[in-house]
Amino acid sequence: MKNPRFTRPRRTGRSRGARTLFQAGVLGLAAITLAACSGQAGAGSSEGPDATGTPVEGGTLRVGATSGGTGDSLDAQNPLSTMDFIRVGALFEQLVKMNGETGQPEMVLAESIEPNEDATEWTITLKPDITFHDGSALTADDVLFSLRRIEENGFPGLATMGPIDLAGAEVVDDVTLTIPFTAPYSIFVEGLSDVFATRIVPEGYDPATPIGTGPFEFESFTPGQESTFTKYDDYWEDGKPYLDEIVITNFADETAQINALQAGQVDLINQLSAASVASVESAGGKVVVSQTRGFVPITIRVDEEPYSDARVRQALRLLVNREDMNAQVYGGLGAVGNDVFGAIDPAYEGAVPQREQDIEEAKSLLAEAGYPDLEVELFSAPIGPGAEAIASVFATQAAEAGVNVTVRKQDPTQFWSQSWTQVPVAQSFWNTSSYLTMAQQGIAEGAPFNEIHQADPEWQAVYDEAIATVEPDARAELVQQLIQFDYDQGGYVIPVYFPGIEGTGQKVGGVTENITGIPINGGSWQNIWLEN
């Protein structure tokens, strides 16, 4: 649906058939059959461990994981790397989380989170009889402390809480908290379910003694090396967790992970490439492949010439052969993207047609814009699954239109500190969430990660109206208008959603596909077990 307040570029490219592809959910793993454009997106998998069998209690799960380093953290509310996410997921929990199958909010510590009529006040009611690892009861005071800690430290989760007024929050009783907002805020639940970091900690929390409500409690932690967590016997979910202990060891690369799994030194490894599937299976292991809606985009600054011309940005998107990129980068195990984030959002379905490669249209747009021989510098680093391969394939595909893309490869530290958000064309890494929550973090006014430098007043006006609209259908209509704007004029090239690929030994059960883009059941451990 087109918002009459938005003006499209004169040409937007042609879609050669609005084929229904599995775009219904974007960071990061659901049913084996892919659903189409519905927010109910599933995940593909090769034959994996029997996640539906009878769980077995006991045992130590040895995990070999990548992406960590000496900067590893156990701060519940400020995870920085994938390793941090999977560790804090064992110790801490959210009020509400993103369902790994549908991508929609699912209550965890909260019994309910309800707004008043205009969403200017929300009431959180906790589930009863939940305790922290030190035996103290989870209360509304802890929730208020947790949210205020995020606010006071400016942690990433703050962006998902909107115009919250924590100074005016009131603890009604042990399990009830009311929170006012300075303006209507209809997406509080979606924001709290974001994977980023709104986990609940006890009042007076100290990251040096990481106490949470999660299925496992802290035993030991050496940044960049290893962490050990043991079963919390009084965990609130009956009969869980199944494991006695988890030992997570940092691995430098995928080759070392594969070797350790094949040698029986670890039971579970994460973030594998498509090329490793055969290696795991040939050695008798199992593989779980998830169709996540996490993505490694090409980001284009809309405030820098020549990219400030929407025709140039549109041309770059039309250069991409998405099926071919999926095949080359992810062995066909990913899902085709469409240059707009938030694909788990129910409003995403049918909002825009599937974009396909159109070299002639791209050349025409560039000629109209005055850049028939465009030169692009694309800054790349191994910051997410297949990032450098995406840059390389993009350069090859762009050459078909006479566009010369020079890929500048950097190490991650150099990239994040010197290039990300600063150079005109770069890459990034995202997990997934609803459209408005991701926009809140990425392109809305005050967004902490506005890597495309968008500041469009018309887009912002529709966004402000959307987050204030309580009625779901009316809000979805506004979201579709925002999606249309991004599709026509935005600064993202999102060619493919990366697959989440995990390898396990034969005795591991309960590892399932998960759409979020966070490895290992979206960072949840209570459903995993080891056969005797």
Tens of pLDDT, residues 439-492:
999 999 989 899 999 999 999 999 999 999 999 999 999 999 999 999 999 999
Is 256 inside any structural domain? Answer: no
Average pLDDT over residues 116-123: 97
Is 327 inside any structural domain? Answer: yes
Is 35 inside any structural domain? Answer: no
pLDDT band with cut points at 50, 70 and 90 for residue 71: confident
pLDDT band with cut points at 50, 70 and 90 for residue 349: confident
The CA distance from 39 to 173, in Å, is 36
Q: Which of 390, 475, 446 is nearest to 1 (CA)?
A: 475
In sequence order, what are the residues at sequence separation of 6 or more whose Cβ sits closer than 8 angstroms to the Cβ of residue 373? 402, 404
Say if residue 199 is in the same domain as residue 311: no
Tens of pLDDT, residues 239-282:
999 999 999 999 988 999 999 999 999 999 998 999 999 999 99
Highest mean pLDDT among 17-21, 28-32, 202-206: 202-206
* pLDDT at 285 (0 to 100): 93
Indicate if the pLDDT at residue 9 is higher than 80: no
Indicate if the pLDDT at residue 147 is higher than 90: yes
Residue type, 264: G
Which CATH number do you get for residue 488? 3.10.105.10
Is 257 inside any structural domain? Answer: no
68 or 196, greater pLDDT: 68
- Asked if 498 contacts 20 with a C-beta cutoff of 8 angstroms, the reply is no
Indicate if the pLDDT at residue 389 is higher than 90: yes
* pLDDT at 7 (0 to 100): 43
Tens of pLDDT, residues 231-240:
999 999 999 9
The CA distance from 432 to 427, in Å, is 16
- Give the helix ranges, DSSP H, for 410-518: 412-414, 435-442, 457-467, 472-489
As given in the structure block, the two tokens for residue 467 are: 């987050």
Indicate if the pLDDT at residue 325 is higher than 60: yes
Is 15 inside any structural domain? Answer: no
Q: Which of 118, 110, 253 is nearest to 189 (CA)?
A: 110
Say if residue 316 is in the same domain as residue 186: no
Average pLDDT over residues 61-78: 89
My answer on whether omega of the bond before 424 falls inside 30° of 0, hence cis, is no
Q: Which of 121, 110, 117, 112 is nearest to 169 (CA)?
A: 121
pLDDT band with cut points at 50, 70 and 90 for residue 37: very low
Is 262 inside any structural domain? Answer: no
**Among 4-13, 149-158, 173-182, 404-413, which is the least confidently predicted range?**
4-13
Which CATH number do you get for residue 155? 3.90.76.10
Q: Order of strands across the sheet with 170-173?
A: 110-115, 121-126, 176-180, 170-173
- Which structural domain range is residue 169 located in? 75-210
Say if residue 345 is in the same domain as residue 491: yes
The CA distance from 22 to 35, in Å, is 6
Diameter of the chain measured on Cα atoms:
68
Mean residue pLDDT of the chain comes to 89
Indicate if the pLDDT at residue 294 is higher than 80: yes
* pLDDT at 1 (0 to 100): 37
Tell me which of 179, 210, 241 is where a domain ends. Answer: 210
Tell me which of 160, 176, 210 is where a domain ends. Answer: 210
- Asked if 228 contacts 219 with a C-beta cutoff of 8 angstroms, the reply is yes
Tell me which of 153, 187, 210 is where a domain ends. Answer: 210
Number of folded domains that form the chain: 2
Residue 335 sits at φ, ψ, to 5 deg, of -125, 140
Indicate if the pLDDT at residue 25 is higher than 70: no
